[in-house]
Structure 1
């Protein structure tokens, strides 16, 4: 499983790179703060909503600490998606939030 640290993701965003970020936390958790531009698909809904994702794009999965996003990464990889887990999750995120 590919992983990026929160620092690496922040640096990519600050460099102007367009990233496809998927936050798999619950809606209530996301309301407390999210990375700007992130799409929220709670982990429990991921299987039902994975048709919304494009297999030709690469996605970075985000959660609170990196555990749920790790499970989401493994699940989507098993279906042929290009996915990276953001290790450390929002607990370690020190970049901009909305």
Structure 2
């Protein structure tokens, strides 16, 4: 809740929200795509070439991310990835949030690999 309030007041880090097509261009230029959804969500669908780093693990694993490349965070719709992107921006990384998440990526006609979660 405090993070939301800080952002409302403009006290949090400014993280640019980018479209799926803008993200694709940044990826072509060398950016890293980080999926902050849960492992189960990632088994159901994922953006090819993305790396999984669940939001719940970000605080203890963020230092393994490259410091010399832009990072684009995404989730299902863009909310969790906004939290992740703000956290990484506070650590001094160049970071972007994929507006609309994997749903917007797919809606833009970009590739999504569907999983086959068997029970």
Q: TM-score, normalised by structure 1?
A: 0.89
Q: Distance in 1 between matches of 2:102 and 2:60?
A: 24
> Which residue of 64, 74, 81 maps to 2:86?
74
Per-residue CA distance 1:22-46 (angstroms, 9 max, x = gap): 0000000011111111000000000
2:112 paired with 1:97 = yes
Structure with the greater alpha carbon radius of gyration: 2
Q: TM-score, normalised by structure 2?
A: 0.74
- Cα separation, partners in 2 of 1:57 and 1:86, compared to 1, 3 Å: same
Give the SS at the match of 2:33: strand
1:51 is displaced (CA, Å) by 1.3
Q: Distance in 1 between matches of 2:96 and 2:54?
A: 16
Give the SS at the match of 2:45: coil
More strand by share: 1
Flag the structure with more relative contact order, 1 or 2, with Cα contacts below 8 A and sequence separation at least 6: 1
Unaligned runs of at least 5 residues, structure 2: 1-14, 114-119
2:96 paired with 1:84 = yes
1:87 is displaced (CA, Å) by 0.5
Give the SS at the match of 1:30: helix
- Computed over aligned residues only, the root mean square deviation of the Cα atoms, in angstroms, reads 1.6
**Alignment length, in residue pairs?**
96
Unaligned runs of at least 5 residues, structure 1: none
